[in-house]
Each structure stands twice: as C-alpha cells, then as structure tokens.
Amino acid sequence: MDAYGANSTKFNAASPAYYLGAEWGGKLRAMHDSYTFASAIAGLTLQVGVLKPGEVYVDGFIKSADLGSATTLIMGEKGDTDRFLAATVFTTAGQRTACDKVEGLGFKNDTTADIPIYITVGVETANGAIEVVIFKACPN
C-alpha cells in the first residue's frame, strides 16, 4: 500500500475528531423529481431536491425531452448555481446527462439548515419534460 485517499486517511486516524458520518459508511438515498416546462424563460429556477445537514451529494442525472433549439439547464445550490451541472444544452429527446462536476461530487452540507438543490433554465425558453435523480449519502 503506497497511499490513502483523503477520507481513508481520516478514517484510519487515531483521533475520534475525524468521525466522517455520511462520507464513510453513510446510507445512500435517492431523490426523484419531474417537471414539465411550458415556455419557461431563461432564469427560471426549479427546486428538485435538498441536502439536509450532514448529507453529502454523491451523483445525479437529468433525463429530458427535446427542450428547445438551444435550451440549457444548470444544476446547483444557492451558493454555487452550477455546482453539480454547468450550462448544458438539452436538445435531444431521451438525453441523459450526468450532474457530476468535480466540485459538486462529495459536497457536504456542513450547516445546520437544509440546502435546496435547484435547476435553472440558462438559455432560451424551455418546453418539455425532465426527470431528475439525485443520489446522496446520509449519516444515518
């Protein structure tokens, strides 16, 4: 063995101050939401999930209809509107796009309040249905 990952190092430390919770041995949960856009204008925000205190964003995806000629969607939270998905064009029916930006994977809600997860219509008007799945690790 030559090296340990960041969370493996914390797990193997002798100090109980490194209790990891959701990052190591947490329970995986999934959230599912759907929405049908009807002439939704750029800038419209849609809440599709929430990270409760101590929860960690693991991964997610959006599956969509053809939303329009150049319609983009963005997924993030209030502090970073594109934390999970940068502006991505959704112009293909049945398109499945991963919401897995590096800075979003492993994002932990280390506050005492819920952090809502939003999809924002970035460019053009959106018309059509989307399905959203978000995977998160929970400490209990």
Per-residue model confidence as pLDDT tens digits over 87-112: 999 999 999 999 999 999 999 999 99
The phi, psi pair for 7, rounded to 5°, reads -75, -30
Q: Give the C-alpha separation, 57 to 49, whole Å.
A: 11
Q: Which DSSP string do the residues of 74-108 spell out, in sequence order? A: EEEETTEEEEEEEEEE--STTEEEE---TTTTT-B
11-32 confidence digits (pLDDT tens): 666 665 455 667 767 899 999 9
Task: Tell me the percentage of the chain whose pLDDT exceeds 70.
Answer: 84
Check: CB of residue 109 under 8 Å from CB of residue 55: yes
Q: Where are the domains of the chain?
A: 25-138
Question: The whole model's pTM is what?
Answer: 0.84
- CA trace torsion 43, 34, 130, 38 (10° rounding): -60
- Its CATH architecture, for the domain 25-138, is Sandwich (2.60)
